[in-house]
Amino acid sequence: MTPSLPTVHLVGAGPGDPELLTVKAIRAIRQATVLLVDDLVGDGVLRYARRGARIVHVGKRGGCASTPQAFIERLMAAEALAGERVVRLKGGDPFVFGRGGEEAAHLRALGLQVEVVNGITAGLAAATSIGVPLTHRAHAHGVIFVTGHARGDADQLDWPTLARAAAQGLTLVIYMGISTIESLQAGLLQGLSDATPVAIVQHASLPQQRDARCTLADLARTVAREQLGSPAIVIVGDVAAALGAIAAPARRAA
C-alpha cells in the first residue's frame, strides 16, 4: 500500500474574536502538533491548541519587520515531511490577501497535500461589527475586495478606475490602505463624489476595536485625527452611511 502524503492545513483564524472560528478550524488547531502563527491571529484562538503543541510565531504585518515568506514555506514543508501535523494559522481567510495561494502552490509542488480551512475575512467582520451590510438591494449590488498595499510601484492600483467601478453601485472594501491613505483618497476622488460615505474599522471584532465614519473628502483627515492605524479596513460606498440613511422603504398603506 502506498503511504499517504503528509497534509498541511492552511487555517483561517478569522478577524481575531475566537468565537468567530469555524468548527473545522478548531478541530484542525486541536489536532496540530506544530502551528505556524501569524501576528494578526488573536491570542484567544491559541487556547484551542493541544498541550505540548509547538507554536512558532511567524509575524507577517504590512509596514513591519516580517518573517521571510520563503522561510515560512520551507518550515511548513520540513515539519510536515518530518511527520508533524502542521497547521499554518492565518488571520482572516487564507485565500483572501493571506498568501495562501502561494503557500499551497509551494507545498503541492513538493508533493505535499494541502487542506484549506476558510475563515471569516476581516473586511466582512469589519462591516458587520459596525452594522453595515456590504451589499444592499437599494444601495450596493456588489462588493470589491482590494488591497491598498502593493509590492512595488509597478503594482500600484489604478484607484480612479476602481472609483468609477464603485460609482456603478459597488462597495469598496480596502485592506492595508492606511499607510497610503492620502494617495488612495486622491485617486478615489477622481471617480467618486467627495460626499461618498466612508467607514474605517481598526482591530475589527476585538475588544480594542475602534471605528470612525466620514465622507471621502475627509478620509485622510479623519484617519489622522482619530489616530487610526493598522490593521484596519476602509469601507467606501453608500452602505457605509449610518443605518438610518439606508432604512428599508416605508410600506405602502393597503
What is the residue-level pLDDT of the chain in tens, covering all 254 positions?
Answer: 445 789 999 999 999 999 999 999 999 999 999 999 998 898 899 999 999 999 999 976 554 557 899 999 999 999 999 999 999 999 999 999 989 999 999 999 999 999 999 999 999 999 999 999 999 988 899 999 999 876 655 567 899 999 999 999 999 999 999 999 999 999 999 999 999 999 999 999 999 999 999 999 999 999 999 999 999 999 999 999 855 555 444 433 33
Residue finishing a domain among 84, 102, 117: 117
pLDDT for the residue numbered 66: 72
Catalytic status, residue 76: no
Do 106 and 135 fall within a single domain?
A: no
Residue ranges of E strands in 24-154: 34-37, 54-57, 86-90, 113-117, 142-147
Question: The domain spanning residue 77 has which CATH number?
Answer: 3.40.1010.10
Residue finishing a domain among 84, 117, 150: 117
pLDDT for the residue numbered 43: 85
Cell of 93: 481567510
Do 63 and 157 fall within a single domain?
A: no
Any domain includes 1: no
Any domain includes 187: yes
pLDDT for the residue numbered 65: 58
Catalytic status, residue 238: no
Residue ranges of E strands in the chain: 7-12, 34-37, 54-57, 86-90, 113-117, 142-147, 170-175, 197-202, 210-215, 232-236
Range of the domain at 45: 7-117
Which run of H or E residues covers position 27? helix 23-31
pLDDT for the residue numbered 241: 86
Do 199 and 171 fall within a single domain?
A: yes
pTM value is 0.89
Do 171 and 213 fall within a single domain?
A: yes
Do 90 and 132 fall within a single domain?
A: no
Any domain includes 90: yes
Chain centroid, CA 247 distance in Å? 28
Do 88 and 110 fall within a single domain?
A: yes
Q: Angle 180-184-128 (CA atoms, 0-180°, nearest 5)?
A: 95
pLDDT for the residue numbered 152: 56
pLDDT for the residue numbered 251: 39
Do 111 and 139 fall within a single domain?
A: no
Do 133 and 107 fall within a single domain?
A: no
pLDDT for the residue numbered 156: 75
pLDDT for the residue numbered 62: 52
38, 76, 90, 93: the active-site residue: 38
- Look at the chain and report how many structural domains it folds into: 2
Residue finishing a domain among 117, 144, 174: 117
Do 135 and 231 fall within a single domain?
A: yes
Any domain includes 251: no
Catalytic status, residue 60: yes
17, 60, 76, 211: the active-site residue: 60
Do 35 and 70 fall within a single domain?
A: yes
Do 103 and 135 fall within a single domain?
A: no
17, 90, 93, 176: the active-site residue: 176
Do 50 and 102 fall within a single domain?
A: yes
